[in-house]
């Protein structure tokens, strides 16, 4: 399937408007901190959340609001996670009520999310005071403003969209994301909001989402910390006019491919923008006995602090790769493992049949000094494969998180 990429993010799909402003949740007035995304009509909706037992109050409210599989708006603040607060659920509900007051969209059809510092009370006042400005700023080309408003330690916006065809109709799917630290399977400090004008039932939307995250967001790690506020939400308003997808079949497969086209790209963006990161790392595993084993191995390598620090130092320390493979929990014929390092500078074999091979350290360092590198692991146990996405671990990661609250 060939997709045409666009740069309109959550506004690529017909009928979606977005806005982002600084309302005062964050002290830095140059940082936007309040985002709103609305559809012209009610949407099918599906969402997935953090696996952390400690969950942000907005997740509780969003789960309640999405119990009927419908939504029409998303409101998000950055700068405060609204987590572990005695009044957190009340504040999250008030945010939904403000959307109803200023847009007419029922509060029960609103997805609410927050990101930022945990354990500090979130005042509703700056949000209330900024709502009119926020709603006045809604536009069909304002995805970038919304994207900026959900960022915390992110240095780069994460936005992607594609055009595809269903039932002879041109459809669009696009999204924005934030995620830089506290990123670890399953899900992470990620807020990801995806919109599409394809017609698809909420049941099939959730099915597509659950299948997709197994190989995308659940395979992305920055630092081993699973956040309290992860929310991945998809809204589908059906304005493309295709025949609604209500069962599996060719149209459903095309939709899943379009979804994967944007989610995998988002994962790469998140990994590349890890806190303090200098290199994006993609781990590719092939020849595994089954998909579960392939995923375990890829994640284990991508999450290894020793692998990540070796990548930071551009050190071809392939033994650390095998070490992480060995404790992954997957059954592997270690005597048949191969490892290669790959980048735009070329590729180099460093291990064959579980043992080191002679290679040029200078060439390896040249390859590993690139911004994006691939650790390619080949097995001889079967035909399954998987990818995991991560980044190096640097001094700056410690600096950023050592004084995060201040």
103, 248: one domain? yes
Q: What is the pTM of this model?
A: 0.82
Output the CA–CA distances (angstroms, integers) from residue 364 to 211, 356, 367, in the order listed: 36, 14, 5
Q: Are residues 295 and 254 in the same domain?
A: no
374 and 259 share a domain? no
Q: Are residues 188 and 299 in the same domain?
A: no
* 22 or 115, higher pLDDT: 22
- Residue-wise pLDDT for 342-367, tens only, equals 999 999 999 999 999 999 999 999 99
172 pLDDT tier (thresholds 50, 70, 90): very high
Region of residue 82 (left: phi > 0; alpha: psi -120 to 50; beta: else): left
pLDDT attached to residue 156: 78
Looking up tokens 């014929």, which residue turns up?
333
Same structural domain, 267 and 293: no
Q: Which of 83, 153, 189, 226 is catalytic?
A: 189
| Residue 406 designated active-site | no
Question: How far is the C-alpha of 337 from the C-alpha of 357, rounded, in Å?
Answer: 12
105 lies in which domain range? 4-272
CB 221 within 8 A of CB 187: no
Dist CA 72 CA 107 (whole Å): 9
Number of domains in the chain: 2
DSSP secondary-structure letter at 122?
Answer: P
């Amino acid at each position: 399937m060939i997709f045409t990429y666009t740069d309109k993010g959550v506004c690529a799909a017909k009928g979606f408007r977005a806005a982002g402003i600084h309302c005062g949740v964050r002290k830095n007035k140059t940082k936007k901190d309040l985002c709103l995304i609305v559809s012209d009509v009610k949407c099918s909706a599906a969402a997935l959340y953090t696996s952390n037992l400690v969950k942000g109050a907005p997740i509780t409210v969003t789960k309640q609001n999405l119990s009927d599989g419908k939504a029409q708006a998303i409101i998000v603040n950055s700068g405060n996670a609204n987590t572990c607060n005695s009044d957190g659920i009340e504040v999250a509900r008030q945010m939904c009520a403000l959307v109803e007051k200023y847009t007419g969209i029922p509060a029960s059809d609103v997805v609410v999310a927050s990101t930022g510092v945990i354990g500090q009370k979130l005042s509703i006042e700056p949000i209330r005071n900024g709502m009119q400005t926020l709603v006045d700023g809604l536009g069909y080309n304002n995805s970038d403003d919304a994207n900026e408003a959900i960022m915390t330690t992110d240095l780069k916006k994460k936005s992607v969209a594609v055009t595809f065809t269903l039932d002879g109709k041109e459809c669009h799917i696009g999204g924005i994301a934030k995620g830089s630290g506290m990123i670890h399977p399953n899900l992470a400090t990620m807020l990801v909001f995806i919109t599409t004008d394809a017609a698809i039932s909420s049941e099939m939307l959730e099915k597509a989402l659950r299948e997709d995250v197994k190989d995308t967001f659940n395979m992305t790690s920055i630092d081993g910390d699973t956040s309290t506020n992860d929310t991945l939400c998809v809204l589908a308003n059906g304005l493309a006019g295709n025949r609604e997808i209500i069962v599996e079949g060719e149209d459903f497969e095309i939709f899943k491919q379009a979804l994967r086209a944007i989610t995998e790209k988002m994962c790469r963006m998140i990994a590349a923008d890890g806190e303090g990161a200098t290199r994006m790392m993609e781990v590719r595993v092939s020849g595994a006995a089954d998909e579960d084993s392939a995923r375990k191995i890829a994640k284990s390598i991508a999450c290894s602090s020793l692998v990540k620090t070796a990548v930071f130092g551009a050190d071809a320390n392939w033994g650390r790769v095998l070490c992480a493979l060995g404790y992954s929990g997957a059954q592997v014929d270690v005597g048949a493992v191969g490892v290669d390092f790959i980048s735009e500078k070329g590729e180099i074999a460093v291990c064959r049949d579980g043992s080191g091979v002679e290679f040029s350290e200078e060439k390896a360092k040249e390859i590993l000094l690139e911004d994006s590198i691939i650790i390619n692991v080949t097995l001889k146990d079967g035909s399954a494969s998987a990818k995991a996405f991560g980044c190096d671990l640097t001094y700056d990661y410690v600096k950023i998180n050592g004084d995060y609250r201040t």
